Amino acid sequence: MSISTLPLSYCTNVHPGLTVSEVVQGLRDFTKPVRERVGQPIAAGLWLADSVIRELQTDPDGLDPLRSALQDGDLTCYTLNAFPYGNFHGERVKEQVYLPDWTTSERLDYTLGCAAILAELMREGVEGSISTVPLGFKELSTAVDFRQRCLEQLLQLARKLDALHDDTGRVVRLAIEPEPLCVLETTRETLEFFRELFALAEQRGVLDLVQRHVGVCYDVCHQAVEFEEIPASIQSLQAAGIRINKVHITCALHLDSPEENVVGREFLANFVEPRYLHQTFARTREGQTIFQQDLTAELCQNPLEGFRVADAWRIHFHVPVDAEQIGPLRTTRPQLREALQGVATLDYAPHLEVETYTWGVLPSGEKPDLISGLTSELRATFAELSALTSS
């Protein structure tokens, strides 16, 4: 049984923060009160946008207020979310969240900047993790040399993270996060890419560095939306030597029998919103999966034939992880339990982070105040972890 002994983290990408002062304000206004209500240690899984990283790089004393806010809130930090590069709370984020992709110097430099900051924030003897985009969004990643450029960038990153370890004594690992409709989407695609990465790394004589510093962030919602068998997915990554450096504890929406479930489809239409991308998948009666890039009112009201007669739909909409059901819809909480059970069988302990970033766009009748909602999520997750460790 291998469950992380570090304090459970929640990701602060749920709070706006494009400056250091805004990040600090979020810790004071939300994370500290959540810690006090939960009544046991938690960690702040910081989202530091590129603008924040650049501010910290130009101000030698810039980290002081961030350290003070963490200390004042009795909070630790061992993981960063470096997936959203820019404004994650703009009016329309959608597919732009995957830019810049991993072919660009901007993505590499930003990630290395995050690693340097995390090395400063981590406590002695703790290893760090940084989650990142799954190379890019398929629709936007059409260059013929796209994969090769990503491979080269990741080799360079591994070398730089190794040098950071030499300089600071801190181990920081990258966690590439597969997501629906991205270049790394399914477990199969992830396995294929890492085979390429490991082969190139071995050819260049840096396989040890890459295996140490580059792995995945397993976002449970994402693989559940793909209708993957979660235990088999985790086992296949383990068998391939791909380290799960971070687990995003997340749940998606699930709609059964859409043809007959008119009430469910009508309710689901309340989740259509303009900010984030909500990739929608259906499992057909033949066991195939089909998808639509985003959830729309038209899909809910008049689904095309394949969606209409499907067994079930799953929607990439992060919903509170303590909810088994939201109105007439189910959630993928059963798959979350399977994931935690699978992670517990590994011979190492990935970082664990609750990452429900969509509180601000939940339908008005489905959300409590943010502090209460985050507290309920963390308490429920602590209960799940406690049940695992005591079994």
Decide: 186 and 224 in contact? Cβ < 8 Å: no
CB atoms within 10 A of CB 309: 14
* Structure-token match 């059901």, residue found: 325
Looking at residue 389, what is its pLDDT?
85
Q: Which of 186, 248, 223, 239 is nearest to 346 (CA)?
A: 239
Alpha helices for the chain (secondary structure H)? 20-26, 32-38, 50-58, 63-72, 105-121, 146-168, 187-204, 207-213, 220-225, 230-239, 262-268, 297-301, 305-308, 333-343, 370-390
Residue 364: pLDDT band (50, 70, 90) is confident
In whole angstroms, what is the distance from residue 219 CA to residue 247 CA? Answer: 6
d(CA 84, CA 173) in angstroms, rounded, equals 17
Between CA 242 and CA 312 the distance in angstroms is 31
Of all residues in the chain, the percent with pLDDT exceeding 70 is 99
Sequence-separated (6 or more) residues with CB below 8 Å from residue 333: 251, 321, 323, 324
Given the structure tokens 């296949």, which residue do they identify? 236
Residue whose entry in the numeric block shows the structure tokens 């071995």: 202
Output the pLDDT for position 60: 78
What gap in Å lies between CA 57 and CA 109, rounded to an integer? 12
Domains of the chain: 8-250+331-377 (3.20.20.150)
Q: Report pLDDT digits (tens) over 45-80.
A: 999 999 999 999 999 799 999 999 999 999 999 999
Output Rg (C-alpha) for the chain, integer angstroms.
20
* DSSP class of 74: T
Neighbouring CB atoms inside 10 A of 159's CB total 15
pTM above 0.75, yes or no: yes
| Predicted local distance difference test score (pLDDT) of residue 286 | 87
DSSP state of 182: B
Instruction: Specify whether the CB–CB gap between 79 and 8 falls below 8 A.
Output: no
pLDDT category at 291 given cuts 50, 70, 90 is very high
Q: Which amino acid is at 344?
A: A
pLDDT digits (tens, 9 = 90+) for 370-380: 999 999 999 99
pLDDT over 80 at 1, yes or no: no
Residue-averaged pLDDT of the chain:
97
Which residue's structure tokens are 């959830």? 295
pLDDT in tens, 159-180: 999 999 999 999 999 999 999 9
pLDDT band at 150 (very low <50, low <70, confident <90, very high): very high
Helical pair 146-168 and 187-204, crossing angle rounded to 10 deg = 70
Contacts for 151 with CB less than 8 Å, ≥ 6 apart: 196, 197, 200
Percent of the chain with pLDDT over 90: 96
Tokens of 232: 């088999």
8 A C-beta contact, residue 254 and residue 236: no
Residue 29 three-state SS: helix
Nearest CA-CA partner of 76 in 49, 46, 34, 112: 46
* Strand order across the beta sheet in which 289-292 lies: 289-292, 280-283, 312-319, 251-256, 329-331, 325-326
pLDDT in tens, 83-140: 999 999 999 999 999 999 999 999 999 999 999 999 999 999 999 999 999 999 999 9
Contact 65, 24 (CB under 8 A): yes
Structure tokens at 305: 């034939």
